[in-house]
A = this chain, B = another copy of it.
C-alpha cells in the first residue's frame, strides 16, 4: 500500500469528503488554490487513483467517487446504484452479487477479469417525494 503523491492526495481528499461524485473540471476548479492548475494534472491523479482502487469512475456520469468498500483496493468488480432524480450514487457492497458476477461465464467462452455495473432508479427519498 503505497503512499499518495502530493497531487494525488489533494485530489483524493477532495473526492473523499464529497457527498457526491465529482467531475474532473469541478475538481480542477476546487484545487486551483492548492496549486494544481492544469486539467492534465487532475487527470493524471485521477488515473492513478482509479488504478489503485482509491476512487472509481462512474462511467455514465463521467464523475468520480471515493471507494466506499474497504476491501475493494483494486477496481475490478464495481457496482453502483444511481438515483436518476437526485443523482445520489452509492457503491454496492454485496458479496452475493460480486460472487455471481465474478463467476459469470458467457457462452462465448470469454473469461472476464473485470466488470462494472451501474443500477439506475429512484432512491427512497426521491420515491417518497413523488408519491
A residues with CB within 8 A of B: 59-60, 81, 83, 90, 92, 94, 97, 100-101, 104, 106-124, 127
- Cα(A127)–Cα(B121), bound, Å: 37
Residues in B whose Cβ lies below 8 Å from that of A123 = 108, 110
**How many copies are assembled?**
2
Return chain B residues, CB-CB under 8 Å to A118: 59, 115-117
Report yes or no: B94 in contact with A110, Cβ–Cβ below 8 A.
no
Please list 24 pairs of residues, one from A and one from B, whose beta carbons are closer than 8 Å in the complex, sorted by A's number: A59-B59, A59-B118, A81-B110, A83-B110, A90-B106, A90-B108, A94-B107, A97-B104, A100-B100, A101-B117, A104-B119, A106-B119, A108-B123, A109-B124, A110-B119, A110-B123, A111-B127, A112-B119, A115-B117, A115-B118, A115-B120, A116-B118, A117-B117, A117-B118
**Given contacts A59-B59, A59-B60, A60-B59, A112 and B121 within 8 Å (CB-CB):** yes
Q: Give the residue among A59, A123, A124 with the most B Cβ atoms within 10 A.
A: A59
